[in-house]
Copies of this chain bind each other. A is one copy, B any other.
Amino acid sequence: MKFKAEIDVMPLKELLDPQGKAVGIGLSNIGLNAINNVRIGKHISVEIDANDKAEAESKIKNACDKLLANPVMEYYTFSINPA
């Protein structure tokens, strides 16, 4: 069975996010100063072959822990749906 996972990898809330800071300043420079607290991370969409949703979940967790996220600086969240 095929599943589709949407993974977000974001900088930890405790850490400064210089990229987000820069984009926040860029936004106020073009007049959009109602937007603040910008944080920028990665969005990863993948397809998984798995027998059921639990198996797909454990595979994605494994992939995030081993390769997709750096736990020292980032945390991840994901959602899985049938493709």
> A residues engaging B (CB < 8 A)?
6, 8-10, 20, 23-24, 26-27, 30, 32, 34-50, 59-60, 62-63, 66-68
Copies in the complex: 2
Per DSSP, chain A at the interface is: strand
A37 touches B42 (CB 8 A): no
- Distance, CA A66 to CA B27, complexed state (A): 9
Using Cβ atoms and an 8 Å threshold, which residues of chain B touch A60?
A: 35
In the complex, which of the residues B6, B27, B42, B62 contacts A32, with contact meaning CB atoms closer than 8 Å? B62
23 A–B pairs (Cβ distance < 8 Å), ordered by A: A8-B43, A23-B67, A27-B67, A30-B67, A32-B67, A34-B48, A34-B49, A34-B59, A35-B46, A35-B47, A35-B48, A35-B59, A35-B60, A35-B63, A36-B46, A36-B49, A37-B47, A39-B44, A39-B46, A40-B44, A41-B42, A41-B43, A42-B42
